[in-house]
Structures are given as C-alpha cells and as structure tokens.
Chains A and B, each alone.
Chain A
Amino acid sequence: MHEMALTESIVEIACDEATKQSARRVTRVRLDVGMLSHAEPEALTFCFAAVAAGTKAEGAMLEIERTPGAGWCLDCGKMVALSERFGACPECGKYRVQMTAGDELKIRELEIV
C-alpha cells in the first residue's frame, strides 16, 4: 500500500547516487525485497515507471530479487524456513520464531551511464 512512498525513496536514492557519481542517467536498479517484507514487488514495479518519469532514472529497468524468509525457532533450537511473516515454525507448529531473513528492503546496486 505504501509502495508509492517506497518507490519515491528508491528513485531519490538512485538519482542522488547518480549525481554523486557524475552520471547522466540511471539505467538499472537492482533491489532485494524479502518474501516477508511489507512491500509488494508488482506494486513497486508499477509505481516505478511513474515516479521515475522526469528524473535521471526515467526508463531505468527495475530488477527485484526476492530473498526467502527464515527464522530461528526457539523451541526447535534451529533455523527454519518461514513462508509467512509472524508465521508458525514449519516443524513444531509453534509461533516462537524470530525472523532472521526475508525482511529485506534494500537497493543492492545501480547501473549508471
């Protein structure tokens, strides 16, 4: 729902970085978006073209890498895969799982010219 604001932030960071690097344009933006994060990749892609219009990132390709969710189950005492934010441990079914991965919302790299 707040992908518009996230996208504005992505474009702003990308354009600032491009300016810092004396680049004319941003041609590609690579993101890490965790499977358990609160952002919807399709919505990010949808917003990106609109937000980037008229900036150095206009026409840039947005690539989104989904990182899988994982957590530490206190009851099993080990790392388990998590398919849902605040979800149960797939092995013991209890909810005492501390999320350790899958929450990422990060710009990994940019391609600039």
Chain B
Amino acid sequence: MCTVCGCGDATLVHDHVHTRPDGTTYAHRHEPASEPNAHEHDRHDHDHHHRHDHGTVNYGGGLAGVHVPGMSQERIIRIERDILSKNDSCAADNRRSFAREHIFALNFVSSPGSGKTSLLVRTIMDLRDRVAISVIEGDQQTSNDAERIRATGAPALQINTGKGCHLDAHMVGQAVDTLRPAPRSVLFIENVGNLVCPAAFDLGEAHKVVVLSTTEGEDKPLKYPDMFAAADLMLLNKSDLLSHIDFDVAACMANALRVNPRLQILVVSARTGEGLAAFYAWIDASAARMAAAPR
C-alpha cells in the first residue's frame, strides 16, 4: 500500500490527483512491476525524484517474488495480541509452578543504591531459622550481589542481563529451573536497579515490593509512577538517616498513595533493623494468604 495516497493495489496503471490542505494539487501515477520500489509521486514541494524505500510496495521485485495481475499478494490478519503476551504467558507458567510448590515469590524493584541487597541480606539473616530463602539476583553485570547473598548461606543465582534493563519472566523461569528453590520456601527476586522498565514485566511473583530510600526525593513516586502503581508494598529504607537529612516521610507517603491508594508502606532500616519486624509479619501474612487462596 502506498503511504502517500493509501492506494492499496498498484497492479493497474492509474493516476491520482490530490488536493493538499493549502489548496494546491499534485498528481501521481501507479504502475505495476515495471518499476520496482513502486510508483512515483510528482509535484512535491521539493524537486527530487521521490522513491519509496520502505519496501512494502515492491511488487514483483520483492515481496512475494511473483506478480499476479489483479490480485493482491498481501494478506491482512488481525491478531489483537498484547505485545507483552509472551512475557505474560511465561509469568503465568512461573506463577503456576510457584503455587504448585508453595513458593512465595517477591519481586524487589527500586532505583540503584536504595539498599535492596542489604535489605535482603538482613532479612535472610533474621529469618533463616524459620524459613528457607533463596534469591535470584538481576544486574547488568557482575555477580557481586549473588556473592553477598551466598555469604549468608542462602542459595543465590545471578542473572546478568547484559544490555537489558529489567528481568523478564523467561529469564526468571530459567533461573528457577537452575536454582530449584525448595517447596514451601520464600524466593526473593532482586530486579535490576531501575525504577522504569521492571514495572511492565510480570515475573510470576506474588507481589512486587518497591524499595525507596530516604536519600532519594520524596517525589520519586510522582516521577516514576508506574513502579509505585504496580507494587503492593513499599519499603522506605534507610530510616536511620532521617535525623541527618531533610526528608519528609509524610509527603513521600502521600505521593505514593496518590499514585496507588492500595499501596502498603513500611518505614525500615536494613542497617539498624528498625521496622523490619513489620516487614517479616507482612511476609508471613501474605504467604499464608497465598497458601490459603483457592487455585
């Protein structure tokens, strides 16, 4: 189809005259395969020979390799598929396998440097006598984070995304196959530090947990609303620094709730342990709710 005039069948020689919004007119001719790369559009404002190089009207010379007069070679098929449908179906597979094994999976998302890994290390140390925890770490490069987790004795697997800015459900599915978290355990997935992209990719987790730290701005939830809208729990980390900095906790919470009125918020410190008991209670309650949910 010609994108200038919308003409869909260039198999017959015919002419068009078009009127521009400013009243001037121009004409052009459609011809069959004699001229590959399609027809000419004359009388443009510029004087060069206008050729279409988008390759879609390349009758005879390109598309089907053949030219059948009077018959359109192209078929239009309506598919109405969600662009993320591939990821979503992988995520659904992950979610089913987590449910089958009673694995409670959390997807931790935040900007780089909010203290996600420190928070996980602390949580594993505090909970390791009560529950088995394994960790999938996502970073563009290095296995530093997985090594920090392994130092606690918990199994960890590092995914290096290379150029990728987020984990996707397929990567997590493969990581789970390798890591093999124990049935009735907790799986922490630490996403790539990025407040934008991971919001769009469901990994099959029970909940997204967004970590924000007090050294960031109170308006982060407004600047990066998707992530806060996608999360079920927000951990405001580095509360031990609050006495040293000007950070308005109430304003930050109000901003987060504006984007997501259902968001639960806990103020914590991975360094001092402040507020973490409430986080552990949330994990217990959420895991119990998931286990009790009808499947």
Contacts and interface: CB of A to CB of B under 8 A. Distances in A.
Interface residues of B, number: 38
A4 to B, nearest CB: 8
A107 B77 contact: no
A112 B74 CA distance: 5
A4 B259 CA distance: 26
Interface residues of A, number: 34
Nearest to A7: B83
A10 B164 CA distance: 16
B82 to A, nearest CB: 6
A50 interface: no
Contact of A28 (B56, B79, B165): B56
Interface stretch (B15-23, B194-202, B263-271): B194-202
B258 A61 contact: no
B75 A111 contact: yes
Contacts of B82: 105-107
A4 B74 CA distance: 27
Nearest to A105: B83
A107 B199 contact: no
B229 interface: yes
B251 to A, nearest CB: 15
A106 B55 CA distance: 23
Nearest to B200: A38
A97 B196 CA distance: 22
A28 B54 CA distance: 10
A6 B81 CA distance: 13
A9 B229 CA distance: 23
A113 B81 contact: no
Given A27-B74, A109-B78, A13 B166 contact: no
A89 interface: no
Contacts of B165: 1-2, 5
A52 B85 CA distance: 18
A24 B66 CA distance: 12
B43 interface: no
A61 B54 CA distance: 7
A31 B259 contact: no
B80 interface: yes
A23 B79 contact: no
A10 B86 CA distance: 9
A86 B56 contact: no
B214 interface: no
Contacts of B1: 28, 111
B63 A25 contact: yes
Contacts of A81: none
Given A6-B84, A13-B79, A24-B64, A111 B164 contact: no
B286 interface: no
B225 interface: yes
A12 B77 CA distance: 16
A82 to B, nearest CB: 13
Contacts of B75: 21, 23, 111-113
Interface string B65-78: 00000000111111
B226 interface: yes
A9 B200 CA distance: 13
Contacts of B243: none
11 contacts: A1-B165, A5-B197, A6-B84, A17-B77, A23-B75, A27-B56, A38-B196, A107-B83, A109-B76, A112-B77, A113-B75
Given A2-B166, A5-B165, A107-B83, 5 more contacts: A10-B83, A17-B81, A85-B225, A107-B80, A111-B56
The 3 closest A-B pairs by CB, nearest first: A2-B197, A59-B55, A86-B225
Interface of A: 1-2, 4-6, 9-10, 12-13, 17, 21, 23-25, 27-28, 31, 38-39, 59-61, 85-86, 95, 105-113
